[in-house]
Copies of this chain bind each other. A is one copy, B any other.
Amino acid sequence: MISFESDYITGAHPKVLERLVQTNLEQLSGYGTDAYCQRAREKILAECEMPDGDVEFLVGGTQANAVIISALLRDWEGVVCAVTGHINAHEAGAPEFAGVKVLPLPNHGGKIDPEELEAYCAGFYGDDNHEHMVFPGMVYISHPTEYGTLYTLSELTALSATCRKYGMRLFLDGARLGFGLMSRSTDVTLPDVARLCDVFYIGGTKVGALCGEAAVFAPGVKPPHFMNSMKKRGALLAKGRLLGVQFDALFTDGLYFDIGRRAIGMAEKMRELFASRGYEFAVDSPTNQQFVILDADRYEKLRKDVAFSFWERLPDGRVVTRFAVGWSTSDEDLAALAAALDAAER
């Protein structure tokens, strides 16, 4: 059965896997101290145009979120996010397990509204009498969001300004960053992200790697002894090379961006398959995830031939579904989807 269930249904991009095979027998030191990790760090910082920043490699997204958030926040601080934010909704309480309260703001297509953030912070910090409340110490955003949407440069600039005004850190979850940066609808570049955020991560798991997220810290932001903070959270890989080699490959000759660009192209074709058949979309996503509304009958029919995700059921009984494109999605996959759509209409 053909699958559009997620962007992590296949292994690594061939060039990434090839590098793992080539370097497999090299004797390297552990815990992220090897030469590939170092090289990957330098390449990433160069692409970010932030040579004095820091990069550390983590294994997965929920882990990266929990480690970064809990290591950076101070005792009296919590993390602000959209109510639909991954850390609030789908990480099984990982921030709270690390002792951190999540402070939800309203959701706007997966995004925080910069004006609502400013108003919230102005209310909180405008009056010095909130010792019984959790202080907003960090703003978490995802880009693309869980709904495939993107912040504009203007929005990102406004969020960053509010964070700096109130002494909060801006943290961008870039689990799908490659797809966001290569969207045709974005005016945000990787150096913009690096410049406007205090910390963010470049997702590998969903963009061509077997696993791995590269956390990028603006100069001075990485806490002392961060390796210790990773270790105590079970997030320090013995064979750190597994992450270093993969990110070295992803940031050689623009592979990371190529993967993103190709997937965006495939997502546009996939979107057109639905649009041309008159399907509606729950969200207008310019990235690799498309949220298609199916009526109950077609939902059941289509499920027999294609794997995709149930998102939610609408009051009228129709179903919001998610079809995701990944690095490996092929024209054959799309042809099979088209055939399944045609079959479901009969």
Write the residues of chain A forming the contact surface with B, with a CB cutoff of 8 angstroms. 2-3, 5-6, 8-12, 14, 17, 20-21, 23-31, 59-67, 71, 74-76, 78, 89-102, 104, 131-135, 205-206, 210-211, 223-225, 227-229, 231-239, 241-242, 307, 328
Q: State whether A2 touches B23 (Cβ < 8 A).
A: no
Q: State whether A210 touches B239 (Cβ < 8 A).
A: yes
Q: State whether B133 touches A89 (Cβ < 8 A).
A: yes
Q: State whether B24 touches A10 (Cβ < 8 A).
A: yes
Q: State whether B62 touches A131 (Cβ < 8 A).
A: no
Q: Across the two chains, which residue of chain B brings its CB closest to A230?
A: B92
Bound complex: CA A227 to CA B231 (Å): 21
Q: A10-B25, A229-B75 are in contact. Are A101 and B96 (CB under 8 A)?
A: yes
Q: Across the two chains, which residue of chain B brings its CB closest to A223?
A: B75
- The dominant DSSP class at the A interface is loop
Residues in B whose Cβ lies below 8 Å from that of A3: 27, 29
Chosen A-B contacts, 8 in total, with CB atoms closer than 8 Å, are: A5-B30, A9-B29, A60-B234, A74-B224, A96-B100, A96-B101, A96-B134, A132-B231
Q: State whether B9 touches A17 (Cβ < 8 A).
A: no
Residues in B whose Cβ lies below 8 Å from that of A17: 20-21, 24
Q: State whether A234 touches B62 (Cβ < 8 A).
A: yes
Residues in B whose Cβ lies below 8 Å from that of A239: 8, 11, 205, 210-211
Instruction: Please give the distance in Å from A75's CB to the nearest CB on chain B.
Output: 5
Instruction: Please give the distance in Å from A266's CB to the nearest CB on chain B.
Output: 14
Instruction: Please give the distance in Å from A30's CB to the nearest CB on chain B.
Output: 6
Residues in B whose Cβ lies below 8 Å from that of A92: 76, 131-134, 228-229, 231-232
